[in-house]
Amino acid sequence: MLQDKFKLSKMNIILIILNVLLVILVIFASVQLITSLKDTSHLIPELETTAGKSSTREADATITTSSETTTTSTKKQGNETSPYYNIDLGSILNEELVTKHNLTQEEKSSLGAMYFKVLEGIYEGSDDDLINVTYLLTKAKDGEKDKLTKNNRDYGIVYNGKELFNKIFTSTSKDLITYYKYDETPALILNRDNNEYYKLGSLTGKKPYVVTSNQLEGIDNYNYKYKVIYYDADYKEQGYKTPEYKSSTVTIKYNDLDKRWKIDVFTFPNLKR
């Protein structure tokens, strides 16, 4: 009979117990899986960004916010009415270095870089850190002396130009600052009608040169030369495969009468005299 053929052995009992345990484990795992699928806390958070902050919106509708460290560059915007901008020479030129006679080599290099930056503010139309003609030319109204159009190019006034340039240039170089031109267009002009200086505005809004390095030459306690190495930003448009490196120099001279370093002789990228 069937009962006689089927006998429970010790091995059979062990196998039955193992099978029951496996079935229980499968049922438990299935319950856990179904529960986890219904739980929304495991979802990837939705990232929302705002200016300077990031917010993580969790699946359970809670919000955590963390501040980010960001670097911003703010261009000087100027004023709505004349004078349309404020000249702040001290933001570029360190007065302590300018008036210190015995400079170290490192200090001379720093002062040279500052004076080159000052020259950019005077002669480069897209550099508005010193003389913000870009803003001025968008705000100046017809008939105001702040804006001048000459030879189909727009110029912006240099407020207190005479006082400014007396601080920067030696008397010899100051007489020559309006002689520099881009092709046939003066970069800086002295309007004889009101005896005011005007800076040429930029057509592109970008510097036409890229500075790569600098060095010092002819160093002594009264004169030294700061040399800038650069190349034209549009060298590919000019037909070159690689940049053609050029140089500009700023000779800085200590004036015993004024007790300060000033620009004595200089050349500037793409300017001719």
Q: What is the CATH number of the domain that holds 104?
A: 3.10.450.420
Q: In what order do the strands lie in the sheet with 260-266?
A: 209-217, 223-232, 245-255, 260-266
Phi first, then psi, for residue 179 (nearest 5°) are: -90, -10
Question: Is 20 part of any domain?
Answer: no
pLDDT at 60: 35
Which structural domain range is residue 109 located in? Answer: 90-266
13 assigned to some structural domain: no
Query: Would you say residue 170 lies in a domain?
Result: yes
Tell whether 22 is covered by a domain. Answer: no
Q: Quick one: pLDDT at residue 79?
A: 87
Residue 194 lies in a domain: yes
- pLDDT score at 27: 78
**Count of structural domains within the chain:** 1
Q: What is the pLDDT of residue 23?
A: 73
List, edge to edge, every strand of the sheet that includes 196-200. 147-150, 153-157, 196-200, 188-191
Q: What is the pLDDT of residue 52?
A: 39
Say what the pLDDT of residue 56 is.
38
- What is the 8-class DSSP label of residue 201? P
Q: pLDDT at position 66, please?
A: 34
- Asked if residues 101 and 254 have their Cβ atoms less than 8 Å apart, the reply is yes
DSSP 219-270: --SSEEEEEEEEEETTTTTTT-SS--EEEEEEEEEEETTTTEEEEEEE--TT
- The pTM of this model reads 0.72
In a domain, 115, yes or no: yes
Q: How far apart, in whole angstroms, are the C-alpha atoms of residue 162 and residue 157? A: 12
Distance between CA 52 and CA 60 in Å, rounded?
25
Please check whether residue 52 lies inside any domain of the structure.
no
Q: pLDDT tens digits for the chain (273 residues)?
A: 444 555 566 666 777 787 777 778 777 766 666 665 555 544 444 444 433 333 333 333 333 333 333 333 445 668 889 999 999 999 999 999 999 999 999 999 999 999 999 999 999 999 999 999 999 999 999 889 999 999 899 999 999 999 999 999 999 999 999 999 999 999 999 999 999 999 999 999 999 999 999 999 988 889 999 999 999 999 999 999 999 999 999 999 999 999 999 999 999 999 998
127 neighbors 120 (Cβ within 8 angstroms):
yes
Structural domain contains residue 177: yes
Which residues make beta-bridge pairs with 93?
Answer: none
Structure tokens at 122: 């005077």
Closest-CA residue to 77 (of 136, 11, 3, 140): 136
Backbone angles phi, psi at 99, to 5 degrees: -100, 0
